[in-house]
Amino acid sequence: MSQPLENIALIGAGTIGLSFAALHLRSSSTCKVVLYDPRPDLDSHVLSLLPNYLPPTHESVTSLLASERLLFAPSLEEACTPSTHLVQEQGPESAEFKTDLWPKIEALVSPTCQLWTSTSGIPASVQSVGMSSPGRLLVVHPFNPPHIMPLIEVVPSPATPEALVESACEYFSRIGHRPVVIRKETTGFVANRLAFVLFREACSLVQQGVVRVEDVDKIVEASIGLRWGIKGPFASYHYGGGEGGLAGFLQNVGKTVKDVWSEGEGPIEGAWVEKVVGQTEEAYGAVTPQNYVERDIITRRVLEVIREEREAIAREETET
């Protein structure tokens, strides 16, 4: 068991950084989270958003600040110290920014400090080129918002020791998340690759006038979005194949699958960005904080029902 992650420095306190702050703070009643972010509105940003990310019964942000379990560091050097157990970065998605940052952090912390990046798709082997021990850097890619969404894609570089991978997986499993180790550094890792392929097809269908933005959302929410939250694509198609399972599915539907695959490639023609953005803004207007509150309430409830039902099924299986 690696050292407890009690002194945590979060570099970048935007959408993801603040969500991870809530996750770490609610996962341990003793851990200390130090935020470093040069944004001029950091105080108001944290005070306005962080309370929504913490459970309603959790210690208030004001109390966390008063007890110094939550701190704002005025500099990187004051956020990352020899007593820091974990530095997690969620700054701008820029290879230049992250590559420049990690050698600085490495020089500030102890050799046992865990170094994680929340990047959407910049591999650790790219970000760590300037580090003296590149293998120390590990990608822990969340799905927004990480204080609720359980997936963490743990993506080691070829230089990363297995012990660091195991330590990160152990931490996230212990706090109720679902880490999945991705064994090769692909662009966008796995979740984003799957999401972006679907998103490309959705944009193409809107651009072709096959369907409007809001109808794509209705279709996904009323079918695959629900289905894949319960059983992923392989299990779902295995079930869909009846007695033949996935082999039966591929035998029955395989030609249509391949026909669709062969069509859905290459760039989308025309001014598709303007079209999908225009229809999205027309359908939903500007995003408000209340949108996030409603999203989080429903997402938490769905996850809770899935957990409750799976536990009930497991209990029945052990009792029979």
Residues that bind ligand NAI (CB under 6 A): 11-17, 36-39, 90-93, 118-120, 142, 144
**Of 2, 27, 52, 192, which one interacts with ligand L7SNNMKT (CB under 6 A)?**
192
Shortest distance, CB of residue 196 to ligand L7SNNMKT, whole angstroms?
7
Site mask for ligand L7SNNMKT (CB under 6 A), range 131-150, x = bound:
------------xx------
Q: Which does 12 bind (CB under 5 to 8 A by kind): ligand L7SNNMKT, ligand NAI, none?
A: ligand NAI
Shortest distance, CB of residue 187 to ligand L7SNNMKT, whole angstroms?
11
Q: Which does 118 bind (CB under 5 to 8 A by kind): ligand L7SNNMKT, ligand NAI, none?
A: ligand NAI
Shortest distance, CB of residue 121 to ligand NAI, whole angstroms?
7
Q: Is 187 in the site for ligand L7SNNMKT (CB under 6 A)?
A: no
Q: Is 280 in the site for ligand L7SNNMKT (CB under 6 A)?
A: no
Q: Checking DSSP bridges between strand 137-142 and strand 178-181, what pairing results, if any?
A: unpaired
Shortest distance, CB of residue 93 to ligand NAI, whole angstroms?
4
Q: Is 191 in the site for ligand L7SNNMKT (CB under 6 A)?
A: yes
Q: Which does 92 bind (CB under 5 to 8 A by kind): ligand L7SNNMKT, ligand NAI, none?
A: ligand NAI
Nearer to ligand NAI, 144 or 186 (CB): 144
Window of 2-10, 125-133, 188-196, 208-216 that interacts with ligand L7SNNMKT by CB under 6 A: 188-196
The per-residue DSSP string of the chain comes to -PPP--EEEEE--SHHHHHHHHHHHHH-SS-EEEEE---TTHHHHHHHHHHHHS-TTSPPHHHHHHTTSEEE-SSHHHHS-TT-SEEEE---S-HHHHHHHHHHHHHHS-TT-EEEE--SS--HHHHTTT-SSGGGEEEEEE-SSTTT--EEEEE--TT--HHHHHHHHHHHHHTT-EEEE--S--TTTTHHHHHHHHHHHHHHHHHTTSS-HHHHHHHHHTTHHHHHHHS-HHHHHHHHTGGGHHHHHHHHHHHHHHHHHHHS-SPPPSSHHHHHHHHHHHHH-S--HHHHHHHHHHHHHHHHHHHHHHHHHHHHHHH-
Binding site for ligand L7SNNMKT (CB under 6 A): 120, 143-144, 191-192, 195
